Homo-oligomer: A and B are copies of this chain.
Amino acid sequence: MTATKIALVGIGKIARDQHIPALAASDAFDLAATVSRSGGVEGIENYETVEALLEARPDIPAISYCTPPQVRYAGARAALVAGRHVMLEKPPGASLSEVHALQSLAAEKGLSLFATWHSRHAASVPAAKAWLADKVIRSVKIDWKEDVRVWHPGQQWIWEAGGLGIFDPTINAFSILTEILPVEVHVTGAELRFPTNCETPIAGEIRMDGPDGPLVTADVDFLYEGDPFWRQIIETDAGTLTLNQGGAIMEIDGGAQQGEGWEEPGIHGEYDGLYARFADLLATTSSEVDLRPMVLVADAFTLGKRLDAPEFIDPTLEES
């Protein structure tokens, strides 16, 4: 197999932590260029803008974006107009309507568009989905609590409109939820706490119904100190399934599961899975854009009551 040349746009924390190692380990892709205003990667050609890349490198057919969601649309549209396939970090954009516009453009141009959800490639997600498939779901409790100062130092875009605030991590929980549950869920209410100096929420509670009534409660908190919670507890007619560490670890009735679902925690493998899936999509020029996690977030914003929270100042920004 000849590796497909790919360019990576937005060389920030997620690119260095995940995308670059996953591409280095991939037989399917060859990282041929980067786009970054603040410097690229040692040994890889870097361009200042997407436009410069598209102009200079017609030989690169695929482009992967890990820029903040607020600037995703313009870059992705330029790539599609120039005939390149596109892969998008989560969330795929700042609005649902802009992703729909990209979908239409990709379909019109006969190109692949892949809106990724890395948490769906966590080690235990397939096993959890398989186990839940024939169960009656009684309730789901999501706890998604982490310290933004530890996990997103200096990422000011999170607090600007379109950056989603606490929903930037919580959309990972929703991407797992919509993948593994055998029933559909819909948002019925939420309380969201907005720091007085931010455009996005820092904590909250979101409630969802299933087909027969109340089913899901999500407690989310971006100022949670100590070990983070990335956990879903799913009570069924045949026992309780717990997904921990963002989908890496699965337990049933408190016992760790062996086999398919059991691996050391860590999200490295998630991005290996994403690029393997993108290679599959390119092989058949197909697209995969499942917006259900983002619809749940938009519904929470639409239905949510807004409560004030204290001003939030990122201490890692004050240091610089």
Interface residues of A in 76-123 (CB under 8 A from B): 77, 94-98, 100-101, 104-105
Q: Are B95 and A299 in contact (CB under 8 A)?
A: yes
Q: Are B199 and A161 in contact (CB under 8 A)?
A: no
Q: How far is the CB of A5 from chain B (nearest CB, A)?
A: 27
Interface segment, A56-64, A247-255, A290-298? A290-298
Q: Are A95 and B188 in contact (CB under 8 A)?
A: yes
A186 with B299, Cβ < 8 A, contacts A77-B211, A199-B305 known: no
A302 with B295, Cβ < 8 A, contacts A73-B186, A95-B186, A101-B186 known: no
Instruction: Check A54 for interface membership: any CB of B closer than 8 A.
Output: no
Q: How far is the CB of A315 from chain B (nearest CB, A)?
A: 25
Q: Which residue of B lies closest to A208 (CB)?
A: B97
User: Complex: how many Å from CA A5 to CA B60?
Assistant: 60
User: Complex: how many Å from CA A102 to CA B104?
Assistant: 24
User: Which range contains the number of A residues in contact with the other chain?
Assistant: 35 or more
Partner of A301, one of B77, B296, B298, B305: B298
In this complex, the member of A100, A104, A186, A305 whose beta carbon has the largest number of chain B beta carbons within 10 angstroms is A186
Q: Which residue of B lies closest to A213 (CB)?
A: B74
Interface string of A167-198 (1 = CB under 8 A from B): 00000000000000000111111000010000
Q: How far is the CB of A174 from chain B (nearest CB, A)?
A: 10
A161 with B97, Cβ < 8 A, contacts A184-B104, A186-B73 known: no
For residue A303, which residues in chain B have a CB less than 8 angstroms away from its CB? Answer: 94-95, 161-162
Partner of A302, one of B100, B185, B186, B297: B297
Instruction: Check A306 for interface membership: any CB of B closer than 8 A.
Output: yes
Instruction: Check A304 for interface membership: any CB of B closer than 8 A.
Output: yes
Q: Which residues of A contact B (CB under 8 A)?
A: 73, 77, 94-98, 100-101, 104-105, 161-162, 184-189, 194, 199, 208-209, 211, 292, 295-299, 301-306
The 3 closest A-B pairs by CB, nearest first: A97-B186, A98-B186, A298-B298
